[in-house]
Structure 1
Amino acid sequence: MKMKSLGHSRIEVSEFCLGSMTWGTQTNTNEAHDQIDRALDAGINFIDTAEMYPVNPVSEETIGRTERIIGLWFERDERREDVILATKHSGEGLAAVRDGAPISSATIAEAIEGALRRLKTDYIDLYQFHWPNRGSYMFRKNWTYDPSSQLMLDTKHHMEDALEALQKQVKRGTIRAFGLSNESAWGTTKWIEAAERVGGPRVASVQNEYSLLCRLYDTDMAEMSLQEDVPLLAFSPLAAGLLTGKYQDGAVPAHSRMSLSSNLGGRKTERAFDAVQAYLEIAQKHDLDPTQMALAWCKTRPFMGSIIFGATTMEQLEVCLGAIDLELSAEVVADIDAAHRTHPMPY
């Protein structure tokens, strides 16, 4: 397993990261613990979660359940030192968490203490802001997001306020590094500049959606990552399961994500199925499993820190683990590049 540094931090994470957002809804506690055991056996040391998990659906009754499942594993196995643990502070607007309050110095200490209790640990390796207070281009909002109402001074004050609160947590030893999620290039660089002003923790990583079907990161964000040493943690590298091919021709497998979220968070479009078909044909041409090809392609990207994949079953996990040692040939990558030009931004 190849290891990567999280930006300027001294934290080393595996090239693949075990996602957890279905633990507590689609995946029960015992199955989740089995997944952690298997992932560690395969060389993965990185687990990503969030205080709002699980999803499918997100509900007030289940908020925090995924962190509690991970905490039970730490309590059972006493292998906390073997895991790099990332979790997230929910952003503004999620009513089930702190009544939808925005991220601020007033919420950070409370959110961290709650996560530590649920996770049954004394520290969090990577603490991330799940989405920015000012809004985001992510989650299909790239078609409509309008930043013209933002006030630069408000953003500056918010960042400095939050970073000062985070630095207190760093000094306490409750968090080791700070990361962003669903952020823009402008936002990330402003966080970096604010950290230089107030002495808060520097951004170590950005967790944004990235896959063969969602390549918004390829332009300004890619340049920012490389120049500022802020690697990408790619979530949804299989495009919510679309890239496995299991939803082609109108199929909706029982207990799948589409059976619970009919439009896959805005990813279900005719153009998406056409793009998936092109990638399935490339995989077939080169005798590759399409899931493994999609994950292995992410490894080729120069800004990649770690690739976060999730599995609802152990069978799915085993398929994903097959991508660890898969290296794509130049011919495969060229075919993928051609397909992307034919099928850009399918959602």
Structure 2
Amino acid sequence: MKYNKLPNSALEVSRICLGTMTWGKQNTEAEGHAQMDYAFAQGVNFFDTAELYAIPKEKETQGSTETIIGNWFKKSGNREEIVLASKIAGPSKFNEHSIREEGFTKTAFEDALHGSLKRLQTDYIDLYQLHWPDRTTNCFGHRDYVHNADENWKDNIQEILQILEGFIKQGKLRYIGLSNEVPWGVMRFLEENKFNGLPRISTVQNPYNLLNRTYEIGLAEISMRENVGLLPYSPLGFGRLTDKYIEKNGLEDARIVLFPEMSRYNGKQSLEATQKYYDLAKQNNMSLATLALAFINAQPFVTSNIIGATKMDQLKENIESISVELSEEILSEINEIHNAIPNPAP
């Protein structure tokens, strides 16, 4: 395994992060524990979860993933060896079953954090992230920003950081991050650190893969100049960037088949680009998944690549991608495809 420093921290994290969102929905607790056992044995010391998980979200399974992780900590005794990341769900516009009604208020943070700590059977979370912005912006599949003049959101970012600072002082949180954010939001949080001395964000967790490289448009520069690491999620585009869809093998329990509402990667241009990336992978004697993950692992603004799998063979392949280095020629060919079909899945 290879490791990076979690930005603005003393923590070393594996460059492969174990994503957990299928545990409690597509995966049983025993399967989740087997994945953690295997990943930990391979040197993966960074796990990412959220109070909202399992995904797709349902009232009946909300919080189940954290419970599965907490039971593993109790059974294995490995809590101190793991850098643990979780998230507060945020406003109800992305949370139809209403974990809570309010957005990022002090009451909401108290409820979210203490619920997570209890399920995770731990006293602290290493990296606590805001799952999505409180305000209206262009995340979750919306490429362009349309301003809502009737929006009643008032800038509460200073207040959010003051609340999080209190939890840091109590020892319940160590570092903080964002998720599904855009350049304005990231810089606004950094402003409060620079000018008011409030806690500094370490990371942004956004979608990033061969079909969606929109992070590079504005946020990659912020990552490099401000030392804010990207934790890319959906590095395989809900599994679209794997061999099985093109080879028509093992699709009966594939995520995009089981959950057609996750149609973000099903568009015509996404399919065209995927075929080109698949052909490139095969020309170089590797799987499409390995090509896709190795590309992400090579990016200097990426702190750790959040991989997720429902089967052990997928997990093994994904972790092994850390040992694959793409040649300049392959990277150039990837960029040629990207230039011809840029960001087909926002």
**TM-score, normalising length: structure 1:** 0.94
The residue type paired with residue 49 of structure 2 is T
Q: CA deviation at 1:116?
A: 0.2
2:331 counterpart letter in structure 1? V
**Partner residue in 1 for 2:104:** 103
1:120 aligns with 2:121: yes
Once the two structures are superposed, the pairs formed by residues 14-29 of structure 1 within 5 Å of their partners are: 14-29=14-29
Partner residue in 1 for 2:137: 136
Q: SS of 1:205's equivalent?
A: strand
**Root-mean-square deviation over aligned CA pairs:** 1.8
Q: Does the CA contact (< 8 Å) of 1:136 and 1:182 recur in 2?
A: no
State how far apart, in whole Å, the 1-side matches of 2:249 and 2:262 are: 13
**1:1-347 paired onto structure 2 within 5 Å:** 1-55=1-55, 57-93=56-92, 94-143=95-144, 145-149=145-149, 154-155=154-155, 158-248=156-246, 253-347=251-345
Find the residue that maps to 1:99 and give its secondary structure.
coil
Structure 1 CA distance for aligned equivalents of residues 295 and 77 of structure 2: 34
Q: 1:258 to 1:48 in 2, by over 3 A?
A: same
Cα offset for 1:102? Answer: 0.9
CA distance in structure 1 between the partners assigned to 2:54 and 2:152 by the alignment: 34
Q: Which amino acid aligns with 2:185?
A: G
CA distance in 2, matches of 1:249, 1:263: 22
SS of residue in 1 equivalent to 2:203: strand
Distance 1:321 1:77 in 2: 21
Contact 1:48 1:86 in 2 (8 A): yes
**Cα–Cα, structure 1 residues 110 and 197, in superposed 2: closer, same or farther, change >3 Å?**
farther
Cα drift, residue 260 of structure 1: 2.1
Deviation at residue 104 of structure 1 after TM alignment? 1.9
CA distance 1:339–1:67, change in 2 (3 Å): same
Would the aligned equivalents of 1:164 and 1:199 in 2 still touch at CA under 8 Å? Answer: no
* Alpha-carbon distance in 2 for matches of 1:38, 1:98: 32
Q: Does the 8 Å contact 2:100/2:108 carry over to 1?
A: no
Q: Distance in 2 between matches of 1:150 and 1:44?
A: 45
> Secondary structure of 1:39's match?
helix
Is the helix fraction higher in 1 or 2? 1
Per the TM alignment, residue 74 of structure 1 is displaced from its structure 2 partner at its CA by 0.3
SS of 1:179 mapped into structure 2: strand
Task: Give the secondary-structure state (helix, strand or coil) at the position aligned to 2:190.
Answer: helix
Whether contact under 8 Å (1:109, 1:165) holds in the other structure is no
**Separation of aligned partners in 1, 2:64 and 2:153:** 37
Kindly tell me: are residues 150 and 131 of structure 1, through their superposed partners in 2, closer, same or farther at Cα, counting changes over 3 Å?
A: farther
Instruction: Give the Cα separation in 2 of the matches to 1:187 and 1:67.
Output: 27
- Give the SS at the match of 1:115: helix
Between the aligned partners of 1:98 and 1:243, the Cα distance in structure 2 is 32
- Show CA shifts across 1:54-92 (max 9, x none): 01x311111100000000000101111110000000121
Alpha-carbon deviation of 1:229?
A: 0.4
- SS of the counterpart of 1:341? helix
- Contact between 1:90 and 1:103, CA under 8 Å: does it hold in 2? no
| 1:52–1:97 Cα contact (<8 Å) kept | no
Asked whether the 8 Å contact 2:17–2:307 carries over to 1, the reply is yes
- What is the TM-score when the length of structure 2 is the normalising length? 0.95
Residue 151 of structure 1: how far off its partner (Å) = 7.7
Aligned residues with identical type, % of pairs: 38
Distance in 2, Cα, partners of 1:80 & 1:325:
26
Of the structure 1 ranges 237-246 and 120-129, higher mean CA displacement relative to structure 2 is found in 237-246
Contact 1:210 1:234 in 2 (8 A): yes
Aligned-pair CA distance for 1:223: 0.6
Runs ≥4 in structure 1, deviation > 4 angstroms?
150-153, 249-252
Structure 1 unaligned regions, length at least 5: none
